[in-house]
Structure 1
Amino acid sequence: MTTFDSRPVDVHRHDGKIAIVTGAASGIGRATAARLAREGASVFGCNVRSDTRQAAEQFFAEQSLDVTMLQADITAQADIDALVSAAGDRIDILANVAGAMDQYRPLGEVDDDTWLRVVDVNLTGVMRMSRAVLPLMLNAGGGAIVTVASRAALGAGPAGVAYATTKHGVLGMIKSIAWFYGPQNIRSNAVLPGGVHSEMHTKSDRSGWAFERAEIAKATMPPKAEADEIATAISWMASDEASNVNGAVLSVDGGWSSA
């Protein structure tokens, strides 16, 4: 057992496993790809932007981690097919991490382009990625899908209408997968982060009054987590240690959801 950022790393937890991590170039995605690789998995990560992908490739190389980065857009079926094909004929773990924000726009201000983009990434992209790996997991006799939802999946305050709606939808999806495919040894679970130190939350053209309203919901939010703290939960839910955990929703928000 070694440590990474002061959190335990079981270097044999995922020995021999093949994992796909979406949104792997930054934030929770990069931390998840790094943790799974440190814990023995061969990881195939993807990201839509070439600049952040190249920076992530350098990071993984400097850390001598078995992470192969590919440029892929999870809203494009052809890119998903290419990503799954690159991973080979077996996929043990899928971590759905890629996500898009909605600038805290309430219903009266959300435009169709923002709505469709957030739905395409946060909900349809998760569906397509999960659907793409199912045949390989079924053929292998099992697998684990872990999807990053959000504290916003439990309420409306922490985000705008598109983000909150998609994260609520994710919970229905992961439970449906768990119900139908649990007997085939395929587990599907979700982690719900609260505030996280991540690039995702620093590039937002926010709706002014709606963001101020959201701040009320955030009044009880604990200090932001580090991305690896969320990756730790993802790794455990994807591991054999969580073999009886299926259809679960795990809040990893420092207690914010209990307020």
Structure 2
Amino acid sequence: MSYELLSGKVVLITGASSGIGAATARVCVREGAAVVLVARREDRLAALAAEIEEGGGRAVFVTADVTVPQEALGAVEFAVSEFGRLDAAFNNAGTGGDRTPLHEMSDATYDGIMDTNVRGVFHCLRAEIAAMLVTGGGTIVNNSSVGGLVAIPAAAPYIASKHAVVGLTRAAADEYARQGIRVNAVAPGTTRSEITADWFGRNPGMEELANSLTPQGRTAEPEEIGAAVAWLLSDRCPFLTGAVVPVDGGFVNQ
């Protein structure tokens, strides 16, 4: 079902090669947007862009590692060069890492998670906001996690990084509210993807445990996260900024 929430808008999506990012791209296209797909895996981006174009949508792609400031900036500049502006962005690129007790966590693991989940979002926000200021505003959604709202054992760097995404979201929302830029975040619960499938495969019983802790009793489909993102990126919620919206089947409300 489509309500054309994003009709005529240009939406940039990072981490668009799979999972929540790819699903959100499909949702945004169904809602009338042209999408700029950003990730490191060119083959995946090309396939998704071709799928969208064959279905009558508009999609372009550019490879970028958002932990590198010049590449994050380059992705935004590519969007502007293709469409003349950037209306909206979903900063979704992120990583989880293996579950490890904090006292056994390596510096390399900590640095890798923080670089992608925090520095990457910062790089994208900086470039996106600068582009939106030129054209009079826009909307941004950052992908946090229920781990940005509550603690999960044996995942300290991930928890810290996703709490930091919440902080960046609120800071940017406050700083640019009077300049026409809204910044919000989604906090997904357990969501079906290649990453979670791999993790569940290596940790038998964990999906059942996660579902037992979720009031709806199931794992989310990535399109369900994408639907929330599309609404937040749209003009249907003009007075909503600085919010962190759990999309988690009721997990954090217990």
Match of 2:6 among 3, 7, 14: 14
* Structure 1: distance between partners of 2:201 and 2:156: 13
- State the partner residue of 1:161: 156
Change (3 A) 1:216 1:154: farther
Residue 207 of structure 1: CA displacement? 9.7
* Structure 1 position 152 matched with structure 2 position 144: no
- State the partner residue of 1:52: 44
> Which TM-score applies when normalising by structure 1?
0.88
Match of 1:234 among 215, 223, 229: 229
Match of 2:218 among 220, 223, 231: 223
> Is the contact between residue 149 and residue 191 of structure 1 (CA under 8 Å) also seen in structure 2?
yes
Change (3 A) 1:181 1:105: same
- State the partner residue of 2:176: 181
- State the partner residue of 1:125: 120
* Structure 1: distance between partners of 2:94 and 2:147: 13
Deviates more, 1:146-155 or 1:102-111: 102-111
The residue identity in structure 2 corresponding to 1:182 is A
> Is the contact between residue 157 and residue 214 of structure 1 (CA under 8 Å) also seen in structure 2?
no
- Quick one: percent identity of the two aligned structures? 35
**Count of residue pairs brought into register by the alignment:** 249
Residue 75 of structure 1: CA displacement? 0.8
Residue 51 of structure 1: CA displacement? 3.7
* Structure 2: distance between partners of 1:145 and 1:176: 13
Change (3 A) 1:118 1:68: same
Deviates more, 1:176-185 or 1:199-208: 199-208
Change (3 A) 1:56 1:199: same
* Structure 2: distance between partners of 1:57 and 1:159: 37
Residue 199 of structure 1: CA displacement? 1.3
Match of 1:248 among 234, 243, 247: 243
* Structure 1: distance between partners of 2:248 and 2:151: 16
The residue identity in structure 2 corresponding to 1:55 is A
* Structure 2: distance between partners of 1:50 and 1:87: 16
Structure 1 runs not aligned, ≥5 long: 4-8
> Is the partner of 1:156 in helix, strand or coil?
coil
* Structure 1 position 68 matched with structure 2 position 63: no
Correspondence list, 1:86-97, <5 A:
86-88=78-80, 89-97=84-92
* Structure 1 position 36 matched with structure 2 position 28: yes
- State the partner residue of 1:26: 18
Structure 2 runs not aligned, ≥5 long: none
* Structure 1: distance between partners of 2:225 and 2:123: 23
Residue 206 of structure 1: CA displacement? 10
* Structure 2: distance between partners of 1:215 and 1:106: 22
